[in-house]
Amino acid sequence: MANLPIIQFEEKIVETVEKNPVVVIIGETGSGKSTQLSQILHRKGYTRSGIIAVTQPRRVAAVSISRRVAQELGVRLGEEVGYAIRFEDRTSEKTCIKYLIDGVLLRESLSNPELNQYSVIILDEAHERSLNTDILLGLMKRLIKMRASNLKVLITSATLDGEKVSRFFSNCPILNVPGKLFPVEIFYNMERPKSYLESSLKTAIDIHVREPEGDVLIFMTGQDDIEKLVKKLEERVQSLEEGSCMDAVILPLHGSLPPELQVRVFSPPPPNCRRFIVATNIAETSLTVDGVVYVIDSGYVKQRQYNPSTGMYSLDVVQISRVQADQRAGRAGRTLPGKCYRLYPSMVYHEELLDATVPEIQRSSLAGTVLYLKSLDLPDMDILKFDFLDPPSSESLEDALKQLYLIDAIDENGSISSIGRTMAELPLEPSLSRTLMEANEYGCLSQALTVAAMLSAETTLLPGRSKSTEKKRKHDSSDLPNGSGWGDHIQLLQIYELWDQTDYDVDWCKDNNLQVRGMKFVRDVRKQLSQIMQKIAKGSLDVRTNERRKESQEDYRNLRKSLSVGYANQLAERMIRHNGYRTLGFKPQLVQVHPSSVLRTDEEGMLPNYVVYHELISTSRPFMRNVCAVEMPWVMPILKKLEKLNISKLSGGSGQSEEQTEGDKSSLPKKDDVNVARPVDDRDSQIQAARERFLARKGK
DNA sequence: CCAAGCTCA
């Protein structure tokens, strides 16, 4: 610890923090900022008046760093030094240095908006710009005004955007702490390669033949590319002349690799053997591989983005940012001076790459974020003007407001409702929290809890599919239930209840091709959600899973009905005479049911007239993923609500001063009078008319 | 008839 660079800056840091409410610390890898800043301020007495909080974007980091700090201070983890992550709070009365996930601090701020227990809040790894860190940055800006006398905020960031963060906090001081990295020499391709797969193959072999020992880390974009490159590398290495160079092992590394294969990168290679690690960006920050001396950087990354105008997600291969490129290069200089080969021209690096990755807040659906901010009841708060470091587009915020309105979380003036307040308590996306609340009314809370928990873990349930596991799809494999035809939500419910009946048997998961870790996570989430619901209802709810009781169609019906309320913003109507759907949102999209769905067709081969979907994902085509059949009478009230929607009122009521788009004008609630005048007993024609008006409006 | 980067309350 004594030889960490940051220790030499101790006095300077203390002095700057004492004089300023906010300080930005630029600390490169190996500077010791994550473990030392908290200890420095602890030594200076900042823990006498409160706790020092250090936020982290990842669970493993919170746990391992706090363990390290406890060790350095010679105390037991969980006493003076502790951590708080989901499902696990290892802090006590004695705790004065607390490492926590940014999302946990946001939860705490719900019940204690001034965060009075903390004397210092350190936002670590802020340059990663996680959604939650960005919200915290905005909240800190307000908080330091309210608590000017007794709160210090430190933000750690990367060289490239330190200035920007400083400007955001009224030009607060920036301190630079050097890292302990070895120099890394950078090489560029003359041109952008036609195929970065071929280019990385060639570069890798060149290194292997010409360069001294040291492992090679290759950054690719996804599982497919990784598998292809691993195969080609193996072929090429084998075809090299025996004895012409050292041996080689080639290891893939990505998130959907089973854990036992992931950890192979941590065991040292046999002597006189070079390792090639072909990885996704998991090796950029989450996992650190020792022994790497050479990095090959394709310059690309796969990123998920949300389009607020269509409500659709897509997963695109995009260019990395300069911060990311530097981070990747740095992976070569951890143990020795290293070399980084960028498979793109230097001009691309200097002129084309963005300074920093587009922050998550500009790539996500913001319904949950907006609901959270509304529930904080910040004074004189216009959600569209919340002070973000990088504000999301007004289109994205308006999309969030519309979604929240449709599921009754906010009223027509944009004020949070009591339903919305309860929803904000639940660690779920708004559509699922709304479903839980509705299910409670219909007596199917237990089932809804299961569905919500299963959907929270859905991606980790099924093992990573590759060519070899291709046959094992969820609907044509094994004896797993099929949702009784109603769709994927019901299937998820049935799967969990079967597992529940085996007393959470691990072997049952394996037999049915479900990831054990994923299922255990579902169980934890379900338990947590049950507890929160109990707390809200003061313990009077029945959240038990059904024991050896066949679910009746009536239970499924109630559950589907609850889903139609929770997913009011994610409904679709089947088009006439074929199985394509049109979403019933503000801008209808033509979409298909994802082929992995278990939703069943009727005798005539037709899918249900109305469905809810968990998400829209645009891959080869736009698809609805996780689909459940609902009934027309449940959909109609939602269509009527859609008609009444007035975005100008929703977004703070400043009304005329806000620019009004075409769509806004047509949704002014004039037509509703006509609707009220219709004969009440003629329901069918009333519904039909509502539908036609709705669809006609779409056409414009 | 499809495809999945990584986190996290």
Taking chain A (700 residues) in runs of 10, the rounded mean pLDDT of each run is 76 94 87 90 92 92 92 93 92 93 92 92 91 93 90 86 90 89 92 89 93 93 90 89 79 85 83 91 86 93 89 89 91 91 94 88 92 85 82 91 93 90 92 93 90 85 49 50 87 90 87 84 91 79 60 83 93 90 88 89 90 90 92 92 83 48 37 32 50 55
How many angstroms separate the CA atoms of A49 and A36, rounded? 19
Give, as ranges, the nucleotides of chain B with any atom within 7 Å of a protein CB. 1-9
A562 touches strand B (CB under 7 A): no
Task: Delimit the domains of chain A by residue range.
Answer: 5-177, 184-358, 426-615, 631-699
* Per-residue tokens: A186: 């950078």
- Give the model's pLDDT for residue A659: 40
A316 touches strand B (CB under 7 A): no
End-to-end CA distance of chain A: 67
A333 CA, B8 C1': separation in Å? 29
How many angstroms separate the CA atoms of A650 and A664, rounded? 11
A231 touches strand B (CB under 7 A): no
Domain A184-358, CATH among 3.40.50.970, 3.40.50.300, 3.40.50.10320, 2.40.30.10: 3.40.50.300
**Is residue A219 within 8 Å of residue A279, measured between CB atoms?**
yes
- For A212-263, strand residue ranges (E) read 215-219, 247-253
**Is residue A179 within 8 Å of residue A28, measured between CB atoms?**
yes
Please write the tens of the pLDDT for every residue from A64-118: 999 999 999 999 999 999 999 998 899 999 999 999 999 999 999 988 889 999 9
Domains A5-177 and A184-358 share a fold: yes
Helix-helix angle A367-375:A418-425, to 10 degrees: 110
- Please state which CATH class domain A5-177 belongs to: alpha beta
A527 touches strand B (CB under 7 A): no
- Give the model's pLDDT for residue A32: 84
**H-only helix segments in A589-700:** 632-644, 647-650, 662-666, 672-677, 683-699
User: Cβ within 7 Å of strand B: which of A 427-466?
Assistant: 427-429, 456, 458-459, 465
Nucleotide nearest to A304 (CA to C1'): B5
The H or E element that residue A139 is part of is: helix A131-146
Maximum Cα–Cα distance for chain A, whole Å? 91
A228 touches strand B (CB under 7 A): no
A314 CA, B2 C1': separation in Å? 14
A698 touches strand B (CB under 7 A): no
* Neighbouring-strand partners of residue A219: A279, A297
Phi-psi region of A414 (alpha: psi -120 to 50; beta: other; left: phi over 0): left
- Give the model's pLDDT for residue A654: 45
- Candidates A647, A651, A632; CA nearest to A690 is A632
Residue the block writes with tokens 């009365």 = A93
A645 CA, B8 C1': separation in Å? 32
- Give the model's pLDDT for residue A699: 47
A230 CA, B1 C1': separation in Å? 29
A220 CA, B5 C1': separation in Å? 10
- Residue type at position A151: L
Nucleotide nearest to A620 (CA to C1'): B2
User: Cβ within 7 Å of strand B: which of A 586-615?
Assistant: 594-596
Rounded to 10 degrees, what is the CA torsion of A517, A519, A521, A524? -140
